Amino acid sequence: MTDLTGRIALVTGASRGIGRAVAIALAQAGADVAVNYRERATEAIEVVETIHALGRRAIAVPADVSRGDAVSEMFRTAEHALGLIDILVNNAGIAIFHDIDALTEEDFDHTIAVNLKSAFLCIRAAIPHMRERGWGRIVNISSGAARGAGGIGPHYNASKAGMEGLARGYAARLVKHGITVNSVAPSLIATDMVQAGLAASLSRIPAGRFGTSEEVAQVVLMLVGNGYMTGQTVALSGGMSFN
């Protein structure tokens, strides 16, 4: 298992679902963790308490990561409390379920801002210190929808495809500084997001079950533990797709 003792991680959208599991897995590997959330403070504090019980430091940091000022403040708060960020996991995301004819400009802009622009804002904030220290790990939580049909809508597909392009663009430029940037593309994982809109999709999964958030976290940990793999997307889909 990768030893992350002494490393500081920030996970966006870590109050629930995949982000929660990633934050706890990073702490189990030895990292201290900043747990970002948007509004569910009680859930975020429960994640912090779980990490404290593992003997690691953690804080809950509220921020709407689609906004540049909020991201700057989140990094200031996290770094003041825990130290400079070594590991960034861009996980926060939304899924607005709409038929294509009902999709509005506002839905499109909001999805791109929360799912894609947030990753740019967080990476921009994280890389100066990673570069100075010659070590950093960035993982974007993309989706099978980046390359496949997906069940949410074209706005969501576009936001996740954008995340993977963002990862490759940064990966090419940062690897010489010891920083890797990769994506994990899950589908379909049993979380509130899936239970809210895609629960009927179980029959599409050859494995016959939804994935777990812990299985996604395991792949994130693999990427964090590897210094040579960069610019890649690792998919886990229970056999739904192989790209």
H helical segments located in 54-185:
68-82, 105-112, 118-133, 154-174
Between residues 50 and 177, which has the closer beta carbon with respect to ligand NAP?
A: 50
- Binding pattern to ligand NAP, positions 101-140, x when CB under 6 A? -------------x--------------------------
Helix (H, G, I), strand (E, B), or coil: what is residue 93? Answer: coil
Kindly state whether residue 162 participates in binding ligand NAP, applying the rule CB under 6 A: no
- Among the listed ranges 50-58, 127-135, 167-175, 188-196, the one in contact with ligand NAP (CB under 6 A) is 188-196
User: What DSSP state is assigned to residue 29?
Assistant: T
Residues 41-80 that bind ligand NAP (CB under 6 A): 43, 64-66
Cα angle value 135/56/15 (rounded, 5°): 90
Binds ligand NAP by CB under 6 A, chosen from 4, 12, 119, 174: 12
- Among the listed ranges 13-21, 52-60, 80-88, 130-138, the one in contact with ligand NAP (CB under 6 A) is 13-21
List Cβ neighbours of 222 (8 Å cut-off, separation of 6 or more): 2, 234
Beta bridge partners of 87: 9, 137
| Smallest distance from ligand NAP to CB 70, Å | 8
DSSP string, 161-183: HHHHHHHHHHHHHHGGGTEEEEE
| Smallest distance from ligand NAP to CB 177, Å | 26
CA–CA distances in Å: residue 101 to residues 6, 160, 198, 200, 236: 50, 20, 19, 22, 30
| Residues that bind ligand NAP in the complex, under the rule CB under 6 A | 12-19, 36-40, 43, 64-66, 91-94, 114, 141, 143, 186-189, 191-194
